[in-house]
Amino acid sequence: MKKITLFLLATITWFFSVADEGMWVPLFLKNYVYNQMAALGLKLTPEQIYSINHSSLKDAVMIFGGGCTAELISPEGLVITNHHCGYSSIVSHSSVEHDYLTNGFWAMSKTEELANPGLTVTFLVYMEDVTDRILPFVPENITEARRQKIIHQLSQKIIDSVEQHWDHKYQANIEPFFYGNQYIILVTQTYKDVRLVGAPPSAIGKFGGETDNWMWPRHTGDFSLFRIYADRNNQPAEYSPDNVPYRPKKFFKISLKGYKPGDFTMVFGYPGHTQEYIPSYGVSYVLNLVDPTRIKIRQAKLDILMPALNESPATRLMYAKQVSRIANGWKKWIGETKGLRRLAVLKEKRDFEKRFRQWTQTPEGQKYKGLLEAYKTVFQEMKNVSRANIYFYETIYTTNVFRYAGKINNLLDEMDKAPDGQTFNKLKDKLINTVNNFMNHHRLYVEKAITDKMIDFYYNDLDKEYIPASMKKVVEKSQDLPGYLVHTRNLLKIGSSFYLFNASLFLNTTRLAKISKLLTFKTYPKYQHDFRNDILITLNRDLWNIYRQKIYPDYAHYQLQLDSLNRLYMKAQMSLEKNKHFYPDANFTLRVAYGTIRGYRPRDAVQYNYFTTLHGVIEKDDPDIYDYKVPARLKELYEKKDYGQYADKDGTLHVCFIANNHTTGGNSGSPVLNANGELIGVNFDRTWESTMSDLKYDPNRCRNISLDIRYALFLIDKYAGAHRLIDEMVLVK
């Protein structure tokens, strides 16, 4: 393994970091904070946590899907992650007749475990510092674009060499750390046959819904179970009935011993994105532009979607995943802005910048003179295009109708190029299926209401240079038409998308069905103009053209400037504060966070305990509210106090607990370990007072929320009767 570069050795020296802040690269734990972890109670050696020569804890942790963490809990490839991480898979197997989302799912044998096409898990094989194979070969005083191109070329050579060395058994990627002051190669292996094994009903796995999301006290049984399958040689393989359960190098033993205040905890996972080192101008940008804009737009979507969830079980299945995604960010950003203001982060940053400016007057710091002023200029100049970029993402890119239009447009492009009737007919069938799928899995009045609001925002709030003529046409023609009724008890009032929904062929299945009967390879030219110039297709195409030609190039230009400034500012901070131990911002690479079990005081006269119990679930029971309707079986077990071996020594059944591990998005599903490296919980959230920790960690209030693993085992064993799964695990009593 390469040693850390001389630059980092000079600028990153040992010290006891403030509180339990930080997301630490496991490769460098011994250099960083291992001594502090041991002082808090850790019993493991650095080699037991991360090793490339022997099995270690890192071999039991994986990326789950595209944005969560998961961990192995048996020698037969059994995996536990969050319910919300397995949500898409659970929904994909659900129907009104077999509603696994509402009722839960438990495979009582391996033959009942359900395949999930497209779902993967990725293990880290090893990581290596390759900074000295990249940065010495990058010339000084070149443009940032040129710099990044050279780094990409150098990185690709290293990646190709590593993958060839392993005969392409593993995949490799090089990621920048400290904003491009360090580079680490990550060698990974991905398994593609991942099957659903178990999930509690939504009333347990998502108990409290969006009301309790980001909150403490919490009573959510947020877990789901999957199993990794491999070929007969234990290697990755596409789904096949002949595949067998994966045999892991390492899996976590599960502790039934419980915990108490002050006990050591460690979170091992893949945190997504933090910005701990940005200047005050960056914080102001988030606080006054980015978060308020996203909150406003998502609030409007939720005002429409939340009532729709309660209309019918079918409608809930249609929109539950979308509501969860929208609401998660919406509520997080509200908490983030409150936390940043409460901690006066802007003032703290500005106070540091006064000291920084003074330092730039010294011989050592003078090369960074003007850096903060350059930041100020960039953030001022990029304001309008940044706003347009946010609006495009929130009102166009993530709105169902426009995503649907994009799929139709792509199919029309293929139909235009169809070389023969057979190919054309396949594309025509795909087109009709896409239309029917959209109509059957969405409520048209809901989609119209959302599209109305999104067009209103985009049309009225952005500069005219970002408004296409087709959107102006839609808005103006909608104002000239009368209201109309659809097959719903609600009146569809005139709105900005009225003309769009009334005139588009692709939002009118009756008209489209008539045309499709006449549509052939030979007759397509007759209808081609109508299809290509359909108002929905035209509007979507025009919006994307504006994004590609105006918004994205300008936004990317400023981001490139920020990349350069961030790299220099990070290097400057490390030079200024030589005695400070810096950890790299999260970038969805494997990290270790550590801390202790503890409660907290969120505000005056309020003191939160460090755990919750099943009694709290029963207290919240409300049969009239979907998210609080406690299943009868769970209430029965509570009444009998039938907790088995999973009760705490105080006699109660613990549900969730909190600690001060530094976590963020991507840590969902991460294992929470005790001092012996045994699993005590599954991380799933932060408290609302913690959400600003992506920019500023507050040791007094920042708490990660974890599911007590004993509650998960209780649900698997006592509630679901899936004893076979318990038998696979190693329980430490």
List residues bridging with 245 in a β-sheet: 229
Contact yes or no for 114/195 (Cβ under 8 A): yes
Which residue, among 584, 590, 733, has the nearest Cα to 56 in the 3D structure?
A: 590
* Residue 453, phi then psi, degrees to nearest 5: -70, -40
Say how many Å lie between the first and final Cα of the chain, rounded: 38
Catalytic annotation present for 84? yes
Q: What does the alpha-carbon distance between residue 324 and residue 319 come to, in Å, rounded to a whole number? A: 9
Q: Which residues contact 491 (CB under 8 A, 6 or more apart)?
A: 483, 485
The one-letter amino acid at 102: T
Q: Which of 699, 707, 716, 701 is nearest to 671 (CA)?
A: 707
| CA dihedral sign of residues 487, 493, 496, 499 | positive
According to DSSP, residue 140 is labeled: S
Confirm if 492 and 484 have CB atoms less than 8 A apart: yes
Measuring CA to CA, which residue among 544, 537, 510 is closest to residue 528?
Answer: 537
Nearest alpha carbon to residue 454 among 272, 299, 647: 299
Catalytic annotation, pick one of 255, 668, 670, 693: 668
Q: How far apart are CA 571 and CA 234, in angstroms?
A: 44
Residue whose pair of structure tokens reads 């907790």 in the numeric block: 643
φ, ψ dihedrals at 706, nearest 5°: -130, 145
Strand bridging mode 671-673 / 606-608? unpaired
Q: Which tokens in the block code for residue 193?
A: 């046959």
Task: Return d(Cα 406, Cα 390) in angstroms, integer.
Answer: 19
**Using the 8-state DSSP alphabet, how is residue 136 labeled?**
G
Active site residue 222: yes
State the catalytic residue, choosing from 84, 442, 654, 662: 84
Strands 731-732 and 254-255: parallel
* Rounded distance between C-alpha atoms, residue 95 and residue 188, angstroms: 35
Buried b (16+ CB within 10 A) or exposed e, 511-526: ebeeebeebebeebee
Q: Give yes or no for a contact between 505 and 527, defined as CB atoms under 8 angstroms apart.
A: no
Active site annotation includes 668 = yes
DSSP structure class, residue 483: P
| Token couple for 223 | 């877990």
Q: Which of 99, 222, 263, 452 is an active site residue?
A: 222
- Phi, psi (rounded to 5 degrees) for 64: -110, 120
What SS3 state is found at 515?
A: helix
SS3 (DSSP) at 372: helix
Considering just the CA atoms, what is the radius of gyration of the chain in Å? 27
C-alpha closest to that of 269 among 572, 601, 669: 669
Locate 701 and state its tokens: 């209030």
So which residues are the catalytic ones?
84, 222, 668
